[in-house]
């Protein structure tokens, strides 16, 4: 129950309009709970209808994606692009290929992307897209044909000044390559800035591959320093997932002096008490595209346990959930707290359920929400767009140092906003408020409604 009647009515309206979109309701409610603390200071939002406008996407595109498998069978998937808000820049956000993709998932992701992109300080609006296509077990040529069919429709809705997609779950450098190839083919134009996460030889940025995981560690390091006078040095870290974000979070946390002892996928988790050997993980996941269980077959002293939630029973100082939404519920959060953790930072989008966040905050753990903690990926996408516009590219060190600066700035912006909202150290509130104030002031200035 929200204090503000205006916000309560908005939430009821959102739920009534799309009763089945539970993930979207969850993201909106968390946002409204934060705004509830400051809404009295901003009567203009209600007068101008800013918040009811903000929770409804500007445009939702839905299309069929037919493709032919290696046996000649026709399959028809559904493709989407939710163009949520373009007040501060062209729509920007990833594409997810996963069987669980539906409008609720993409609306929650697109909605959080508006606030996340605002926090980066770069001029990017918020969007998300994807398909219920399952890339698991598909051959390379099946993936290529799917990407080509997907882009045959999507191309008419995107553009470097319109909407710039990138990767997310199930969409990495290989898929972006096929998507870009098809865009170029059907448009007859080399618009490098239409997608980010491209290969380095055709307009991609150095550090984009590493950016989300690295950025997560930069923000966490600054949070530890500022709020606890501490660091990653000597800490035990558990990271869920074993995809792009998890792998490069492991790399940076290890470089900062921590020991990462566990990784997972949707089937189970590996535990290596001596510290994960990242070269083995990269070989299994990035080169051979195999399951994480293979690690335990190849590294003596490590174990594999089926079931992906079990990873959180391994005690750690710092927990970095980097797999998917709602992987940590209230009970799992209590197990993490009982294991002695001091900090949780979200690499995935919305991996902690609201009751889990409450458990962490009440136990006094540091908690960094996804829209701030994983903003390094899209921030570096923004840097890729800048380099494409300049027709030039920066060195690894140059991009990495810009990324680090952006993540440190995000931490201080959200920390300061938590103080100004009378919730010092509540970074969930800080991220929602700081991200929103900028977009809201632009919506007011542009007279969007
Ligand atoms: P990848 O596809 O590279 O890896 C996803 C990982 O999460 C895999 O280990 C996968 O296991 C696991 N996973 C996916 N879905 C589920 C599920 N339903 N249950 C359990 N495990 C699951 O994706 P990314 O690493 O890119 O993305 C991970 C998270 O980070 C997502 O929430 C994404 O939105 C977020 N993110 C990604 C960014 C990026 O730049 N890539 C930027 C910011 C956030 P399996 O192989 O078994 O499916
Ligand atoms: O959730 C995210 O921020 C991403 N998947 C990255 C989006 C992007 O445009 O780089």
Return the ligand 2 atom nearest residue 93 CA.
9
| Shortest-distance ligand to the CA of residue 328 | 1
pLDDT at 169: 98
- Apex CA 274: angle with CA 270 and CA 275, to 5°? 65
Q: Where are the chain's structural domains?
A: 1-56+425-449, 59-190, 211-368
Closest residue CA from atom 3 of ligand 1: 243
CA of 5 to the centre of ligand 1 (A): 37
Return the ligand 2 atom nearest residue 109 CA.
1
What phi, psi does 244 have (nearest 5°)?
A: -55, -50
* The dihedral sign for the CA sequence 154, 155, 156, 158: positive
Written in H, E and C, the secondary structure of the chain is CCCCHHHHHHHHHHHHHCCCCHHHHHHHHHHHHHHCCCHHHCHHHHHCCHHHHHCCCCEEEEEEEEEECCCCCEEEEEEEEEEEECCCCCEEEEEEECCCCCHHHHHHHHHHHHHHHHHHCCCCCEEEEEECCCCCCCCHHHHHHHHHHHHHHHHHHCECCCEEEECECCECHHHHHHHHHHHHHHHCCCCHHHCCCCCHHHCCCCCHHHHHHHHHHHHHHHHHHHHHCCCCCCCEEEEECCCHHHHHHHHHHHHCCCEEEEEECCCEEEECCCCCCHHHHHHHHHHCCCCCCHHHHHCCCCEEEECCHHHHHCCCCEEEECCCCCCECHHHHHHHHHCCCCEEECCCCCCECHHHHHHHHHCCCEEECHHHHCCHHHHHHHHHHHHHHHCCCCCHHHHHHHHHHHHHHHHHHHHHHHHHCCCCCCHHHHHHHHHHHHHHHHHHHHCCC
Q: Give bridge partners of residue 97 from the DSSP assignment.
A: 131
CA of 212 to the centre of ligand 1 (A): 11
Domain 59-190 has CATH 3.40.50.10860: yes
pLDDT at 1: 86
CA of 348 to the centre of ligand 1 (A): 7
> Does the CB atom of residue 171 touch ligand 1 within 6 A?
no
Q: What CATH number labels 211-368?
A: 3.40.50.720
Q: Of the candidates 134, 136, 110, 114, which has an alpha carbon nearest to the alpha carbon of residue 123? A: 114
Closest residue CA from atom 4 of ligand 2: 94
Q: Classify strands 91-97 and 74-85 as parallel, antiparallel or unpaired.
A: unpaired
Please, what is the end-to-end C-alpha distance for the chain in angstroms?
Answer: 27
- Residues 333/317, Cβ–Cβ less than 8 Å: no
In tens digits, what is the pLDDT along the chain, a chain of 449 residues? 899 999 999 999 999 999 999 999 999 999 999 999 999 999 999 999 999 999 999 999 999 999 999 999 999 999 999 999 999 999 999 999 999 999 999 999 999 999 999 999 999 999 999 999 999 999 999 999 999 999 999 999 999 999 999 999 999 999 999 999 999 999 999 999 999 999 999 999 999 999 999 999 999 999 999 999 999 999 999 999 999 999 999 999 999 999 999 999 999 999 999 999 999 999 999 999 999 999 999 999 999 999 999 999 999 999 999 999 999 999 999 999 999 999 999 999 999 999 999 999 999 999 999 999 999 999 999 999 999 999 999 999 999 999 999 999 999 999 999 999 999 999 999 999 999 999 999 999 999 65
pLDDT at 347: 99
Return the ligand 1 atom nearest residue 308 CA.
20
> Does the CB atom of residue 265 touch ligand 1 within 6 A?
yes
Return the ligand 2 atom nearest residue 168 CA.
5
Going by C-beta distance under 8 Å and a sequence separation of 6 or more, which residues neighbour residue 191?
A: 159, 160, 183, 184
CA–CA separation, 137 and 187 (whole Å): 31
| Shortest-distance ligand to the CA of residue 214 | 1
pLDDT at 248: 98
CA of 244 to the centre of ligand 1 (A): 7
Q: How many residues does the chain have?
A: 449
Domain 1-56+425-449 and domain 211-368 have a common topology: no
CA–CA separation, 198 and 117 (whole Å): 19
pTM value is: 0.98
CA of 202 to the centre of ligand 2 (A): 19
* Ligand 2 shell residues, CB under 6 Å: 92-94, 113, 116, 166, 168, 196, 349, 377-378, 381
Domain 1-56+425-449 has CATH 1.10.285.10: yes
Which of 111, 167, 351, 407, when mutated, tests ligand 2's pocket best, judged by the most ligand atoms within 8 Å of its CB?
A: 167
| Shortest-distance ligand to the CA of residue 325 | 1
CA of 436 to the centre of ligand 1 (A): 26
| Shortest-distance ligand to the CA of residue 166 | 2
pLDDT at 449: 56
Which of 163, 170, 377, when mutated, tests ligand 2's pocket best, judged by the most ligand atoms within 8 Å of its CB?
A: 377
Which residues form the catalytic set?
Answer: 128
CA of 4 to the centre of ligand 1 (A): 36
């Amino acid at each position: 129950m929200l204090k503000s009647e205006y916000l309560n009515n908005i939430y009821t309206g959102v739920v009534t309009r799309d009763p089945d979109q539970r993930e979207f309701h969850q993201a909106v409610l968390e946002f409204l709970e934060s705004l509830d603390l400051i809404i009295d200071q901003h009567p203009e939002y209600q007068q101008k209808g800013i918040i009811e406008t903000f929770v409804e996407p500007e445009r939702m595109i839905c299309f069929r994606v037919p493709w032919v498998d290696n046996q000649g069978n026709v399959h028809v998937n559904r493709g989407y692009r939710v163009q949520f808000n373009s007040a501060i820049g062209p729509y920007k956000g990833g594409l997810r290929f996963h069987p669980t993709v539906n409008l609720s998932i993409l609306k929650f992701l697109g909605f959080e992307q508006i606030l996340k992109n605002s926090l980066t300080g770069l001029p990017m609006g918020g969007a998300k897209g994807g398909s219920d296509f399952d890339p698991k077990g598909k051959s390379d040529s099946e993936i290529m044909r799917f990407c080509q069919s997907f882009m045959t429709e999507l191309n008419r809705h995107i553009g470097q000044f319109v909407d710039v997609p990138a990767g997310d779950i199930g969409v990495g450098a290989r898929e972006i390559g096929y998507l870009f190839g098809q865009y170029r083919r059907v448009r007859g134009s080399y618009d490098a800035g239409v997608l980010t996460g491209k290969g380095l030889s055709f307009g991609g940025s150095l550090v984009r591959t590493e950016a989300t995981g690295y950025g997560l560690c930069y923000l966490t390091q600054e949070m530890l320093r500022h709020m606890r006078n501490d660091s990653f040095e000597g800490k035990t870290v558990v990271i869920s997932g074993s995809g792009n974000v998890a792998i490069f979070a492991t790399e940076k946390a290890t470089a900062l002096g921590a020991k990462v002892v566990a990784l997972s996928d949707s089937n189970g988790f590996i535990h290596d008490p001596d510290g994960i050997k990242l070269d083995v993980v990269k070989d299994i996941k990035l080169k051979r595209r195999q399951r994480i269980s293979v690690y335990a077959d190849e590294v003596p002293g490590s174990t594999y346990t089926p079931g992906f939630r079990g990873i959180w029973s391994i005690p750690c100082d710092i927990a970095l959930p980097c797999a998917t939404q709602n992987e940590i519920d209230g009970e799992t959060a209590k197990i993490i707290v009982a294991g002695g953790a001091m900090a949780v930072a979200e690499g995935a989008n919305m991996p902690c359920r609201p009751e889990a966040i409450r458990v962490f905050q009440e136990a006094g753990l540091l908690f960094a929400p996804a829209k701030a903690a994983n903003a390094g990926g899209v921030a570096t996408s923004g840097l890729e767009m800048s380099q494409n516009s300049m027709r030039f590219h920066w060195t690894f060190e140059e991009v990495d140092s810009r990324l680090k600066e952006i993540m440190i700035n995000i931490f201080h912006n959200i920390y300061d906003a938590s103080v100004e909202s009378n919730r010092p150290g509540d970074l969930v509130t800080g991220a929602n408020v700081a991200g929103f104030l900028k977009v809201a002031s632009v919506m007011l200035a542009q007279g969007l409604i």
